[in-house]
Amino acid sequence: MSNSRKMKIFLLLLLFLCEAQSRATSRPNFIVLIADDLGIGDPGCYGNKTLRTPSLDALAKGGVKLTQHLAASPLCTPSRASLMTGRYSIRSGIASRSRVGVFLFSASSGGLPSSEITFAKLLKTQGYATALIGKWHLGIHCHSKTDFCHHPLNHGFDYFHGLPVTNLRDCKPGQGTVFTSAIRLLVFIPLQVIAIALLTLAVLKWLGLCHVPPAVFFCLVFLAALILASLLCFLHYFRPLNCFLFRNYDITQQPLSYDNLTQRLTEDASQFIRRNAERPFLLVMSYLQVHTALFASKDFAGKSQHGIYGDAVEEMDWSVGQIMNVLEELSLANDTLIYFTSDQGAHVEEVSSRGEVHGGSNGIYKGGKANNWEGGIRVPGLLRWPGVLQAGLEIHEPTSNMDIFPTVVKLAGSPLPEDRIIDGRDLMPLLLGKRQRSEHEFLFHYCNFYLNAVRWHPPNNSLMTSAKWPGHVLDTSNC
């Protein structure tokens, strides 16, 4: 071979390496896909043989699968706060001391503090178009219904279309209520006490053992009627006051309709990508599925082997595929980092008002949503960036959903905030093979305000240890 031919081959190789390096260091688009209550045992790429998830399987085949990916919390609100900020939710105050660890009402005054910095805020300063489509669940208002202090548009997103609170059984007629325990405590027990009091007083008066003024009977009956009326008002008005869709600051559907809901949100996500195809963008697609109330459009209803839960999973997977197709159509696939995860494990104890099991699968792991056993916090973690991340790679090191914050921020060219602790770690060295071990030596697992367990991954060996505090291991009702 002549020297000139060797030189040409050398220059071509050098050009190829330079191009690959520039792509690895260029600013990609970002699509963050968040399922709600999807178990690690649900996708086919994590071992499920009966649920059809071809889009998620394609993500895993064409990218990186994290096998020890962990949610920072086993509940929606704190887990999402940690993902958005790269910090344990207890640092931002999204950690309840009570048994209820999430926002249930649109009128709740709490939310992600304005002082917290989301990756959307930092990407916006770098010229990214930013959108959140789907579920927010990190608060809306502070002091009035017009301040929108916790709204996504005040946390770095240019565009929001979705549900500001969360998807509950109470939002879908005929699916029961999540307030059964509260209704029993605040309605049924007081009514029973009033009924016993009325009966006892009536018997005593009839026997002539005491004089009971008619006003006492009237007051007790009036109190019972007031309690019943309050219950009826709550059940009647909860849905329109808490289950609605926003587009930016405007309510577009009240109460929300589940008809083709995933398809409508997917189309909106596709349109956002098309509008911003010529500039860098961040899309957070936060699915309502597969949180109860479960729903699926006519195209998917009754098609899976796992009832309405399976239908919902397969429709969500279809949505992921639609977004991937848009990237291919616009020739953006190689310039886009896709990240898919779930906010926590499957709610395996979820049963409908008709006794149907509505929870998913956490595979071999014990526990589920709302507790810190492995099934509650080990979640799917898939990343794809063609030409940069090795296709089909599996990483067995412990990682956290908090890690997406520093990963995205650094790739976008923004410095990390220096005025606060960032608990997440940049995933790129691990994904690119520059590091063989996770940077997390310790991962702390909180149940609301309380430290539940610590995972230790010693830097000098492959041992991994978890320690739990028996006094703080809370059951599902407490976390």
User: Residue 364: its pLDDT value, please?
Assistant: 94
pLDDT in tens, 292-311: 899 999 999 999 999 999 99
Percent of the chain at pLDDT exceeding 90: 72
Whole-angstrom distance, CA of residue 316 vs CA of residue 324? 13
Question: How much is the average pLDDT of 381-386?
Answer: 98
Question: How much is the average pLDDT of 2-23?
Answer: 51
| Residues 6 or more apart in contact with residue 300 via CB below 8 angstroms | 311, 312, 314, 315, 318
Question: How much is the average pLDDT of 30-52?
Answer: 96
- What residues pair up with 399 in beta bridges, in sequence order? 69
User: Residue 466: its pLDDT value, please?
Assistant: 61
User: Residue 143: its pLDDT value, please?
Assistant: 84
| Residues 6 or more apart in contact with residue 163 via CB below 8 angstroms | 134, 135, 136, 137, 243, 244, 245, 246, 256, 288
CA angle 130, 141, 144 (to 5 degrees): 135
Whole-angstrom distance, CA of residue 41 vs CA of residue 219? 55
pLDDT at 291 over 60: yes
pLDDT: is 17 or 214 the higher one?
A: 214
User: Residue 474: its pLDDT value, please?
Assistant: 38
Peptide bond into 290 cis (omega under 30): yes
At residue 356 the predicted structure's pLDDT band, cuts being 50, 70 and 90, is confident
Peptide bond into 213 cis (omega under 30): no
User: Residue 12: its pLDDT value, please?
Assistant: 54
pLDDT at 11 over 60: no
Average pLDDT, the chain: 89
Write b or e for each residue in 428-454: b if 16 or more Cβ atoms lie within 10 A of its Cβ, otherwise e. bebbeeeeeebbbeebebbbbebebbe
* Amino acid letter for position 275: R
Extract long-range pairs of 44-51: CB within 8 Å, 24+ residues apart: 45/380, 45/382, 46/363, 46/380, 47/363, 48/361, 50/305, 50/306, 50/310, 51/304, 51/305, 51/306, 51/310, 51/313, 51/314
> Where do we find the tokens 């699916």?
175
User: Residue 205: its pLDDT value, please?
Assistant: 85
pLDDT: is 380 or 147 the higher one?
A: 380
Question: How much is the average pLDDT of 268-284?
Answer: 97
Whole-angstrom distance, CA of residue 106 vs CA of residue 162? 13
Torsion of CA 59, 86, 312, 268, to 10 degrees: -80
User: Residue 211: its pLDDT value, please?
Assistant: 86
pLDDT in tens, 159-216: 999 999 999 989 998 888 888 889 999 999 999 999 999 999 999 988 888 888 989 9
159-163 and 245-247 as β-strands: parallel, antiparallel, unpaired?
A: antiparallel
Instruction: Fill in the DSSP letter of residue 152.
Output: G
Q: Is-contact 344 380, C-beta < 8 A?
A: no
pLDDT at 97 over 50: yes
pLDDT: is 229 or 370 the higher one?
A: 229
pLDDT: is 272 or 15 the higher one?
A: 272
Question: How much is the average pLDDT of 97-124?
Answer: 88
At residue 17 the predicted structure's pLDDT band, cuts being 50, 70 and 90, is very low
381-384 and 336-342 as β-strands: parallel, antiparallel, unpaired?
A: antiparallel
- What residues pair up with 55 in beta bridges, in sequence order? none
pLDDT: is 352 or 197 the higher one?
A: 197
393-395 and 281-286 as β-strands: parallel, antiparallel, unpaired?
A: unpaired
Question: Among all residues, which ones are annotated catalytic?
Answer: 76, 137
- What residues pair up with 64 in beta bridges, in sequence order? 383, 393
DSSP 334-403: GGEEEEEEESS---TT-B-TTS-B-----TT-S--TTS-SHHHHB--EEEE-TTTSPTTEEE-S-EEGGG
Question: How much is the average pLDDT of 420-439?
Answer: 95
Q: What six digits make up the tokens of 263?
A: 């398809």
Question: How much is the average pLDDT of 458-464?
Answer: 72
Name the residue among 149, 78, 80 with its Cα closest to residue 109.
149
pLDDT at 459 over 60: yes
Q: What phi and psi values does residue 357 have, to the nearest 5 degrees? A: -75, 120
Name the residue among 57, 44, 103, 55 with its Cα closest to residue 77.
103
CA 401 from chain centre, in angstroms, equals 10
Total length of the chain? 479
The top-scoring range by mean pLDDT among 145-149, 166-170, 349-353, 402-406 is: 402-406
**How many CB atoms within 10 Å of residue 70?**
25
Whole-angstrom distance, CA of residue 405 vs CA of residue 463? 27
Cβ-based burial of 218 (10 A; exposed 0-12, middle 13-18, buried ≥19): exposed
User: Residue 472: its pLDDT value, please?
Assistant: 39
User: Residue 198: its pLDDT value, please?
Assistant: 92
User: Residue 282: its pLDDT value, please?
Assistant: 98
Q: Is-contact 320 264, C-beta < 8 A?
A: no
pLDDT in tens, 215-258: 999 999 999 999 999 999 999 999 999 999 999 999 999 999 99
Q: At what angle do helices 404-411 and 76-85 cross, to 10 degrees?
A: 30
pLDDT in tens, 327-337: 999 999 999 99
pLDDT at 21 over 50: no
Write b or e for each residue in 47-59: b if 16 or more Cβ atoms lie within 10 A of its Cβ, otherwise e. ebeebbbebbbbb
pLDDT at 22 over 70: no
User: Residue 473: its pLDDT value, please?
Assistant: 38
